[in-house]
Copies of this chain bind each other. A is one copy, B any other.
């Protein structure tokens, strides 16, 4: 237990001070402060010593140097049970500072309001983090408050222990203090990396905000939480059971496809992070039904992502099967009412989610693989027709659709499509030929009459003729694939022999 006698207060966020100061006063705690905080404390009618008076050193450089003084740091950093420290204090006429209440210049916030580099730099707090770090280091004796949301806990603690704080409380606050300073400098560092276009600095820290602790991870014996590099996720859950780790994982797998589809168009059905049906048809009911037709069995318990605002007609249709999550760019009022009849069904509004500023990373053992995302939409200018037979406009559109879906299916990936809807999806196979067979089997099982004019896409080149051969034998009339195999010529020859349209894409799109 440590009695608090003197508090140093320097806060950028001046909310909720009054109640705290009242409690501190109750326990006869003296205040030291400066600048705006000093004025605020006086305005609230509490006694307060100005720092420059306390240290005998004037505030200089327009406030850039206020608290950086040995009297302040001697007061914070001295070990109370250390005789030599005590002697140093006496000799220099310094006294103990037992409580530091500080929060920093709003560097992160300023980034959202200006691009002016000088203004941004001016918001790098020097004094604040130093006070907090010193107090947090010396938490055996000193209490440190770094966020207004800790005020209530401090008030409770002081009332409970009559102006004292407990060791455990100070330790917790110290942990939170270093979490604040680490986060603060990580945001500054991230800003500088971006400003100087440094993509891969030698030392990198990723600052993240806890969104929620999840019930468990991919499996019940794994602990889990979801964080964001922003303050919130930009996903709004408006109904249903709590989202699980696997829900989130599937939601993101679905949204990366939805956001790649034409604006306000397209339906994606995802199960185990792979799509089991995608359609980019304009009419929302048609689009959903076509996506569902690709694999109506796997769709049981799936996640449906609608890249549009859901209307009543579709809501009725969606309610006919068991779904875990429905995502949309908003819901019409009457649609929402219908969907909400299913108490557990999770409804997500993803209208505000954007795909800017992304960087992907994944951890393995103690390593982290970081890469820029694979987001550029694939269009007609990214492909080259290499067969004698040229694609019809319909085929071309379906080839582009199929390839855009294929890049978001786990490799090796094959997508068969027609009428801007998938007919078969082969995912996650070590062998490309096997992915072809899986896609064909889906088509033959659920939509056996649709192969006419259907097209296929492959996320990477065919290493042999066998894959393309299998597709053509099943009735596929046009194929798109990246180039680069030593068998490219043979493959083109085979396409010409079988009167198949063959299109090469310039880019490969592995995704694992």
Contact = CB atoms under 8 A, between A and B. Distances in A.
A179 to B, nearest CB: 5
Contacts of A130: 68, 126, 129-130, 133
Contacts of A370: 224-227
A171 to B, nearest CB: 6
Interface string A63-103: 01100111011100111001011001100100000000000
A203 B192 contact: no
The SS class assigned to the A binding surface is: mixed
Contacts of A196: 171-172, 175
A60 interface: yes
Nearest to A209: B203
A174 interface: yes
A25 interface: no
A207 B205 contact: yes
Contact of A205 (B172, B183, B200, B427): B183
B372 A218 contact: no
A428 interface: yes
A297 interface: yes
A512 B272 contact: yes
Interface string A141-184: 00000000000000000000000000000011011101111110
A225 B360 CA distance: 11
A9 B234 CA distance: 46
| A interface residue count range (under 10 / 10 to 19 / 20 to 34 / 35 or more) | 35 or more
Contact of A227 (B204, B226, B245, B507): B204
Given A205-B207, A370-B227, A298 B431 contact: yes
B203 A207 contact: yes
B205 A210 contact: no
B234 A366 contact: yes
A497 interface: no
Nearest to A221: B507
Nearest to A508: B219
Interface stretch (A16-24, A351-359, A450-458): A351-359
A250 to B, nearest CB: 8
A202 B206 contact: no
A195 to B, nearest CB: 8
A399 to B, nearest CB: 19
B68 A85 contact: no
Nearest to A350: B365
B65 A60 contact: no
A199 B133 CA distance: 21
Nearest to A433: B297
A273 interface: yes
Contacts of A77: 61, 64-65, 126
Given A411-B272, A438-B438, A203 B210 contact: yes
Nearest to A252: B364
A138 to B, nearest CB: 8
A203 B179 contact: yes
Nearest to A259: B365
Contacts of A246: 510, 512
Contacts of A273: 512
A181 B353 CA distance: 32
Interface string A234-263: 100000000001101100110110000000
A499 interface: no
A137 interface: yes
A486 interface: no
A175 B203 contact: no
A374 B429 CA distance: 22
Nearest to A362: B362
Contacts of A220: 507-508
30 contacts: A58-B92, A64-B77, A64-B78, A65-B73, A65-B77, A77-B126, A130-B130, A130-B133, A175-B192, A176-B201, A179-B193, A182-B189, A200-B210, A204-B208, A206-B206, A218-B512, A222-B373, A223-B372, A224-B372, A227-B367, A230-B366, A249-B512, A274-B430, A297-B431, A297-B433, A298-B430, A302-B430, A357-B366, A358-B365, A361-B363
Given A179-B201, A203-B209, A270-B430, 12 more contacts: A124-B133, A175-B192, A178-B189, A199-B225, A206-B206, A211-B367, A219-B508, A272-B430, A297-B433, A357-B366, A358-B366, A360-B363
